[in-house]
Amino acid sequence: MTQISVVVPVFNEEESLSELTHWISRVMNDHGFSYEVIFINDGSTDNSWEHIVALNKEFSSVKGINFTRNYGKSAAMDAGFKRAAGDVVITMDADLQDSPDEIPGLFVMIQEGKFDVVSGWKKERHDPIGKTIPSRFFNGVTRWISGIKLHDFNCGLKAYRKKVVKNISIYGEMHRYIPLLAKWNGFGKIGEKVVQHQARKYGYSKFGLERFLNGFLDLISVSFVHRYKKKPMHFFGLLGSLSFLGGFMITCWLIFEKIYGLSKGLKVREITDQPLFFLALVALIIGVQLFVTGFIAELMTSSQTKETEYKIDEELNFDY
């Protein structure tokens, strides 16, 4: 029985793969763990896949998945989760900034039964200020929206109970919100562990500032989908009803004003000459459109789900 699955997304990290694998192997052997390491090569343009193939021959515990192109970290993690056999699944980055020495501590926190998810907290970071400041802001906003009191949603070093990763599907930039997805799927025991963060030893960071914008948009998306996925009419129907009601009331007022003015012998503008008439017309049309959108969405929810899409070119050492 495999105790631990280590899932490692890889994108142009050929220099660090051998050192990382030997480090993981030493930690696992020192603690007597049965384990597997799943490298997911996410369309690397260097020789990362060749290094993974060589490590597979050297270590029986190493498995590999090779994407046909770059699909993103979420897709890589989703593929790794689907194939992980361990009772505890550990995720970490391939750049050696996450320390494998943290694995035993994370494993114990999960095995004790207190937590479904344990997230690493890089309390002392070795990153440039251009990454740390946006990251603090991003984590603050995510805490506020999600209600999960974690300091570092971006930390790649996390541990999960097996049943958690088998019951969630991630896409886009959702890998940052796995604790949130876990909570919404009934796995609400989420803990945190201060972990060692190391300076990058090889290469350079593959992530730019756009990841924070994409991540923020995905946070809004996942929050909206969770709240209204099963009941889209509650959102679109409410907005549509308010818009239609507003337009209807304005129309009634214009008609009343016209009739009252005529009854008093006053000179009253034609209803169609007033700007409020066009505002009411737009509100009525938008209200109907939103209501119809909600109705169509209700029909679609029972048959459509959003899945991660990726193509695999080659796999190593998986038994089916």
Identify the CA nearest to 118 among candidates 179, 47, 162, 175: 179
| Residue 26 is assigned to a structural domain of this protein | yes
**Residue 304 pLDDT:** 54
Q: Concatenated DSSP letters for 106-165?
A: HHHHHHTTS-SEEEEE-SS--S-HHHHHHHHHHHHHHHHHH----S-TT-S-EEEEHHHH
| Residue 117 is assigned to a structural domain of this protein | yes
pLDDT tens-digit readout, 87-101: 999 999 998 989 999
pLDDT at 192 over 80: yes
More confident site: 187 or 270: 187
* Pair (90, 178) in one structural domain: yes
* Pair (200, 71) in one structural domain: yes
Q: What is the CATH number of the domain that holds 217?
A: 3.90.550.10
* Pair (128, 222) in one structural domain: yes
* Pair (111, 252) in one structural domain: no
* Pair (16, 123) in one structural domain: yes
Q: Two tokens at 190? A: 């989420």
Q: How confident is the model at residue 8 (pLDDT cuts 50, 70, 90)?
A: very high
Domain endpoint, select from 180, 204, 228: 228
Q: Two tokens at 183? A: 């909570």
| Residue 243 is assigned to a structural domain of this protein | yes
Q: What gap in Å lies between CA 278 and CA 16, rounded to an integer?
A: 64
* Pair (14, 115) in one structural domain: yes
| Residue 313 is assigned to a structural domain of this protein | no
**Residue 154 pLDDT:** 80
| Residue 245 is assigned to a structural domain of this protein | yes
Domain endpoint, select from 228, 247, 272: 228
**Residue 307 pLDDT:** 54
* Pair (252, 264) in one structural domain: yes
pLDDT at 17 over 60: yes
Q: How confident is the model at residue 30 (pLDDT cuts 50, 70, 90)?
A: very high
Q: What gap in Å lies between CA 169 and CA 74, rounded to an integer?
A: 9
Q: Two tokens at 290? A: 């939103």
Q: Which of 22-31, 133-142, 284-293 has the lowest mean pLDDT?
A: 133-142
Whole-number percent of the chain with pLDDT over 70: 82
Q: Concatenated DSSP letters for 163-186?
A: HHHTT----TTGGGGHHHHHHHTT
CA 186 to chain centre: 17
* Pair (275, 126) in one structural domain: no
* Pair (199, 290) in one structural domain: no
Q: Which of 32-36, 213-217, 253-257 has the lowest mean pLDDT?
A: 213-217
Q: What domain range is 290 assigned to?
A: 232-301
| Residue 312 is assigned to a structural domain of this protein | no
More confident site: 109 or 256: 109
For 248-269, what is the mean pLDDT? 82
| Residue 102 is assigned to a structural domain of this protein | yes
For 177-198, what is the mean pLDDT? 87
* Pair (99, 43) in one structural domain: yes
* Pair (70, 197) in one structural domain: yes
Question: Is residue 225 within 8 Å of residue 187, measured between CB atoms?
Answer: no
Identify the CA nearest to 105 among candidates 193, 42, 232: 193
* CA torsion, ordered 159, 189, 77, 57, to nearest 10 deg: 30
| Residue 320 is assigned to a structural domain of this protein | no
User: What residues contact 44, with CB distance under 8 A and at least 6 apart?
Assistant: 10, 11, 12, 13, 14, 70
Domain endpoint, select from 187, 205, 228: 228
* Pair (223, 89) in one structural domain: yes
If one counts the domains in the chain, the total is 2
Question: Is residue 4 within 8 Å of residue 33, measured between CB atoms?
Answer: yes
Strand partners, 118: 159, 191
**Residue 139 pLDDT:** 72
Q: What gap in Å lies between CA 84 and CA 4, rounded to an integer?
A: 9
pLDDT tens-digit readout, 99-113: 999 999 999 999 998
Strand partners, 312: 67
Question: Is residue 164 within 8 Å of residue 116, measured between CB atoms?
Answer: yes
Q: How confident is the model at residue 130 (pLDDT cuts 50, 70, 90)?
A: low
